[in-house]
Amino acid sequence: TITIASLAVATYPSLTELAYVKGVTSAIQTQLGTMLLKAGGTMTGKIIKAGTTEVGKTYTPATGAQTVALDCVVNNVHVVSGHADGTAITFTVANATSSQPFIVSILQGAVVSTITGWFATCRWSGGTAPTLTAVAGKRDTFGFIRTAADQYDAFIIGQNC
């Protein structure tokens, strides 16, 4: 025998509650399981606070030959200000992921800096690494895309700006 009972209205979902599950295409628990918890959990990558403008990571090499270590987990825009006494700069890159693009913008100080080494293997468009603009106060900007471990396609975005 089948018994039909009438339950109290409070036990039924409201129309608003039913609307929450409209369009669900897989188990709700599966969808919820992919969300970050309010407490705990792990987030990766760079976090930018809502309503703020992202700015580049700034590097100012000291006097004399310096290595500037670009950390691509920190930012995708790297702004290097040449030292007032001129600085020979060697670049290294860390934490770039496959196919990650990033930009390096170099502003010349009062005395012109030079690049003594780009990181890993850079394949420059045109086949040759560029020479920095040799004018104090001018900016050269370059773009890079990581194509494989320690390999980058390299492009001149703008020079003598």
- Sort 140 into a burial class: Cβ within 10 Å, 0-12 / 13-18 / 19+: buried
Query: pLDDT at position 37, please?
Result: 65
Q: Judge whether 91 and 68 are in contact, CB under 8 Å.
A: yes
For tokens 């700069």, the residue is 89
Quick: pLDDT tens for 136-149: 889 999 999 999 99
Q: Please list, in sequence order, all residues whose beta carbon lies within 8 angstroms of the beta carbon of residue 54, skipping any fewer than 6 positions away.
A: 48, 75, 77
Query: pLDDT at position 15, please?
Result: 74
In whole angstroms, give the CA distance from residue 141 to residue 85.
Answer: 21
Element (H, E) at 122: strand 121-124
> What's the predicted TM-score (pTM) here?
0.65
For tokens 């050269």, the residue is 140
Quick: pLDDT tens for 80-121: 887 666 677 888 898 898 899 999 999 888 777 788 788 768
In whole angstroms, give the CA distance from residue 48 to residue 62.
Answer: 29
